[in-house]
Amino acid sequence: MSIFAHPDFDHHEQINFVSDEASGLKAIIAVHNTNLGYALGGTRFFPYANDHAALTDVLRLSRGMSYKSAMARLALGGGKSVIIGHPSTDKNPDLLRAFGRALEGMNGRYVAAEDSGTSVADMKIIHETTEHVSGYHEKIDAQGQVRSGDPSPATAYGCFVGIKAAVEHQLQRRDLNDLVVGVQGLGSVGFRLARLLHEAGARLLVTDINAAVLQQAQEELGAHVMSPDQLMRAPMDIFAPCALGGAITPETLTHLQATIVAGGANNQLDHPDTGDLLHQRGICYAPDYVINAGGIIDIYYERLGTHEPARVNAHIDGIHATLMEIFQRSAATDTANSALADTIARERLMPLGKSA
């Protein structure tokens, strides 16, 4: 198949295929849109089944980054990169340095940060061969404590803000007391989000492939552990997908009992049409690239050199107003939240003097 005919090719500005035989690096870097600024997006390290699956993922993720930055009103474009392989067995310093050299060759058009399968430590190694990487500087949090450059705390906080907006709109209440939230995936974002929900009085249902983290959630947060299939069928108020994408499909919707879908994962819908199905069923969906923008906001201020917790959190708090606008306009126009968010994002991405 021609790349230009790929169903997820969306007028991407640049797609780089990178390999380094010595280190085993095989990667794809996709720049979707730079109308608002240079492209910033994470580097995912994942054992894709084949090259086509990797290409599909990076195309969808990079477009989502463009929309995410536009909806968060950041002077950033959208890009993403994927490294093909298993992070626990295929990752090595030489591979990361080779990836850094590939970034350096793009002259700042794309800046990488951590994502699934990569870490702050990896970003520091990549930084040995390029300046075009972020998310590794130590920062001061709201309590005045030094924390790593990991943006996942900001992502989790933004998701928490977004869930409260969805509850306010859908359930007409401003608290989370005794609401049942199903958290799918307890990684760096999912566990932090679960902790925030627990502190706000929510009751948790959780699933993950990591038995140790499930036990931790059970002991620390009083969470009820379930298998992935059990979670998707359990009665709950809110379903929070925080693992990899594609959790919401026509099939899963046949037994999903939540009235709100709001979580930290990227590309939660398997297909844009699934957003229409959510709307038809009366389920309030918080578009993923809107609710999970906290991390990119955090890194944006790091890149500016003006990372102050109060300023960053104030920007992340704006996710509430953005989602409320989407929910209200959706209700007024009988348009799916996902489609409406896409329309607004594309409008914001248009160069000055042009219209969508």
| Secondary structure string (H, E, C) spanning 186-215 | CCCCHHHHHHHHHHCCCEEEEECCCHHHHH
- Contact predicate 253/230, CB 8 Å: no
Q: Is 80 a catalytic residue?
A: yes
Cβ(178)–Cβ(232) below 8 Å: no
The helix (H) or strand (E) run that includes residue 231 is helix 228-233
Q: In this structure, what are the phi and psi dihedrals at residue 272, rounded to the nearest 5 degrees? A: -55, -35
Helices (H), 107-151: 120-126
Helix (H), strand (E) counts: the chain: 13, 13
- Are the C-beta atoms of residues 184 and 210 closer than 8 Å to each other? no
**∠ at Cα 332 (183, 297), nearest 5°?**
45
Is 188 annotated as a binding-site member? Answer: yes
* Residue 338: both structure tokens together: 């996902």
* Choice among 68, 80, 91, 164 that is catalytic: 80
Would you say 185 is a known binding-site residue? yes
Cβ contacts of 294 within 8 Å, gap of 6 or more: 151, 154, 155, 156, 157, 158, 159, 161, 316, 319
**Pair of tokens at residue 13:** 């500005």
Tell me: is residue 111 an annotated ligand-binding position. no
* 105 carries a ligand binding annotation: no
Is 189 one of the annotated binding-site residues? yes
* 100 assigned to a ligand binding site: no
Say how far residue 93 (Cα) sits from the centre of its chain.
26
Among residues 199, 237, 194, the alpha carbon closest in space to that of 217 is found at 194
Q: Six-digit token pair at 353?
A: 């003097």
Task: Give the residue numbers annotated as catalytic, written as ranges.
Answer: 80
Annotated binding site for NAD(+): 185-190
Annotated binding site: 185-190
